[in-house]
Amino acid sequence: MSDVVERFMRYVQVDSPSDPENEEETPSTPLQHGMAHMLGQDLEEIGCVDVQVDEHAYVTATLPASAGAEELPALCLCAHIDTSFDAPSLDVRPHLVHYEGGNLLAGTVDGKEVYTTPDQVPDLKKFVGQDIVCSDGSTLLGADDKAGVAEICSLLSRLVANPQMPHPALKIAFVPDEEIGHGASLLDLDKLGAAWGYTVDGEDLGEFSYETFNASAAVVRIRGVMVHPGTAKGVMVNAITVASEFMQMVPAAERPEHTSDREGFYHPTSVRGTASDVSLAFIVRDHDAAIFEQREQTLRDIAAFLNKRYGEGTVEVSIHEQYRNMAEAFGDCPFLIDNALAAYREAGVEPNVIPTRGGTDGSQLSLRGLPCPNIATGGYNAHSVREFIPVSSLETTVDILQNLVAKFAVPQRA
């Protein structure tokens, strides 16, 4: 078994799901501490310096630059140690399946076969005759993002064993709770001291992403006028009725279930209330900053229209920004994109640039001043009991990372 596969198999067997019900605490589950400590030890063994595992399960470390690259800016490599809560995630038992084509069988659970068809994942045909890591079908695999963690560790180990391979100082950050939106939020960027970086997370082999949504959350508060229903004529304003009017004015085709690629959306996420007081929650998403702002304005315009009809103060919209499209951060450092595309091609992989329909740790980091596009781990079917990752994806991604860090061992030109 190659180094990256051995690490990957070991890491996925350490359960470390995050828990959306315990967002206030970081990490959201004590299990993530176990994963963090194991990685701290591994990074020490590999030969990293300044290895730190903090009380929030953040793991940071430095691999000093190769000879001649000491004066160049440090490069961050970031992956997350938590796994999703969308599928059973405890007691993960990975195994290698030799794939001969057809359906990829992960295992049999309660007499039912758990498999992926080539129709579901057309990339499968690229892996005929190869070994693929699957769970036993009863849990997710955790390639999202233990594959990213294993690929980074394996790269470090390779660089230490081959001091002639060029690279700048590498700043490693393994972060908890990415799946519940915290991710890199508590990462101390001044202390980390990297100029730029990459996240290694999610996505099929070859995918490269430097664009995410712009994202905000809106709360629409509707206050009705309540009187006895027997004497309500001309006086009562029912908040539920107004809420339903509000919903009808939000463009119906612009919802997640009707949009793809670069189309943004409004997504109602919750409704709570009574005839006198209703709260509607939405998330708003768009890659394009101008259209994104227009969407937020649309919600305010609907409120203004309803306030004219029902009285000022009936509908109140409050919007808070969640993250921005990280593409905004790459104006001054286009080489972060060019270097990545070249690194993929040198490893024999044609990059597939996709606008992410969501956010990544990188969208947060980019906004905070550490531009971070995303390199795919090569995993498939994330957040599912059908999650898998081909051995060749793990190995190729380490090659991509090796090519990538070499490009930062010379000064960058914007």
Q: Smallest distance from the beta carbon of 360 to Zn ion, in angstroms?
A: 8
C-beta of 254 vs 361, nearer to Zn ion: 361
Whether the Cβ atoms of residue 182 and residue 355 lie closer than 8 Å to each other: no
Q: How far apart are CA 11 and CA 178, in angstroms?
A: 17
C-beta of 203 vs 296, nearer to Zn ion: 203
Whether the Cβ atoms of residue 8 and residue 147 lie closer than 8 Å to each other: yes
The footprint of Zn ion (CB under 5 A) covers 144-145, 201-202
Q: Smallest distance from the beta carbon of 388 to Zn ion, in angstroms?
A: 15
Q: Smallest distance from the beta carbon of 318 to Zn ion, in angstroms?
A: 30
Backbone angles phi, psi at 261, to 5 degrees: 50, -115
3-class state of residue 326 by DSSP = helix
188 Cβ neighbours under 8 A, 6+ residues apart:
none
Question: Which residue type is seen at 153?
Answer: C
| Catalytic residue positions, numbered | 82, 178
Q: Smallest distance from the beta carbon of 345 to Zn ion, in angstroms?
A: 24
Q: How far apart are CA 66 and CA 185, in angstroms?
A: 30
Mapping DSSP onto H, E and C, the string for 93-104 reads CCEEEECCCCCE
C-beta of 27 vs 166, nearer to Zn ion: 27
The string of DSSP codes covering 267-288 is EEEEEEEETTEEEEEEEEEESS
Distances (CA, A) of 78 to 156, 246, 361: 13, 41, 8
C-beta of 121 vs 219, nearer to Zn ion: 121
- Token digits of residue 48: 């990293």
C-beta of 145 vs 286, nearer to Zn ion: 145
Q: Smallest distance from the beta carbon of 178 to Zn ion, in angstroms?
A: 6
